[in-house]
Amino acid sequence: MKILNLYSGIGGNRKLWGDEHEITAVEFNPDVGKVYKSFFPKDQVIIADAHQYLLENFDNYDFIWTSPPCQSHSRIRNIAGVGSGNTKAIYPDMKLWQEIIFLNQIFHTSGTKFRGKFVVENVITYYKPLIQPQKCGRHYFWTNFYINNLKAEDTIVTAKLETKQVKLGFEDFKENKSITKEQMLNNCVEPELGLHIFQEAFREYKTLV
C-alpha cells in the first residue's frame, strides 16, 4: 500500500505503522525532515509545501494522512485573547478546510482515479467546525471512513518533557537550531491513536481491493 503522510513533523502518527508499506512524508522544514528521516530511514522524505503536494499527487496514494498547521485554529490561542498582549491577531488558516473539502470531493466524484482512504487531523477549534468531524481527546478527525472505538489519553501536552519522549517513543530526539523538543512532541499525534486510525483505514481499504 502507498501512503502519503503530509505535514509529517517528526512522525508521531506514523510511529507504529511498520515498514512494510511504501510511505512518503512531506515536511516544509528541512530540519524537521532530518529528524523524521532519522527515525524512519525507509520512508521517502520530501521537503516541500504539503498543501500543494497534495493537490498535485493525491491520486498516487492509497492512504493519505494530512495534519495542516493548527495554531490559527487552537482553543489556546482564543483563550489567550486573540490580538491582545503577545498573541498576534491572525485569520484562521483556511488550508485546513480546503483540504477537507477537496479530499471529500475527489473521493465522491465519479471518474476520479483516487479510491483510497484519507484522514485530516487538527486540534479542536475555538469555533464551531465548518464540517462535522470525529472527536478524540484534543484532536478532530475528518475521514471518508468511520473510526471505530475512537479514544485516547489526553496527557501529552501536560506531561514533563522526559515523559513525553518516552510515551511517544522519541527518546533519541536531537534538537537543532530551528526546532525544539517541546514544540515537536506537543505537535505529535499519540502513536497508539495513529496506529488505531491506520488499522481502521487499512481494514476499510482491504474491502476495496
pLDDT by residue (tens digit) across 82-111?
A: 555 566 777 888 999 999 999 998 876 655
47-51, 59-63, 197-201 — which one is most confidently predicted on average? 47-51
Phi/psi-derived region of residue 18, left when phi > 0, alpha when psi is between -120 and 50, beta in every other case: left
pLDDT of residue 127: 85
Which CATH class, in words, describes the domain spanning 2-152+191-206? alpha beta
Cell output for 174:
536531537
What does the alpha-carbon distance between residue 100 and residue 118 come to, in Å, rounded to a whole number?
9
pLDDT of residue 46: 98
What does the alpha-carbon distance between residue 7 and residue 47 come to, in Å, rounded to a whole number?
10
Q: What is the pTM of this model?
A: 0.86
Q: Model confidence over 53-77: pLDDT tens digits?
A: 999 999 999 999 999 987 766 766 6
pLDDT of residue 209: 44
pLDDT of residue 28: 95
56-60, 71-75, 156-160, 177-181 — which one is most confidently predicted on average? 56-60
Q: Model confidence over 12-22: pLDDT tens digits?
A: 999 999 999 99
pLDDT of residue 78: 60
pLDDT of residue 8: 96
Q: Model confidence over 100-151: pLDDT tens digits?
A: 999 998 876 655 666 789 999 998 888 899 999 999 988 999 999 999 988 7
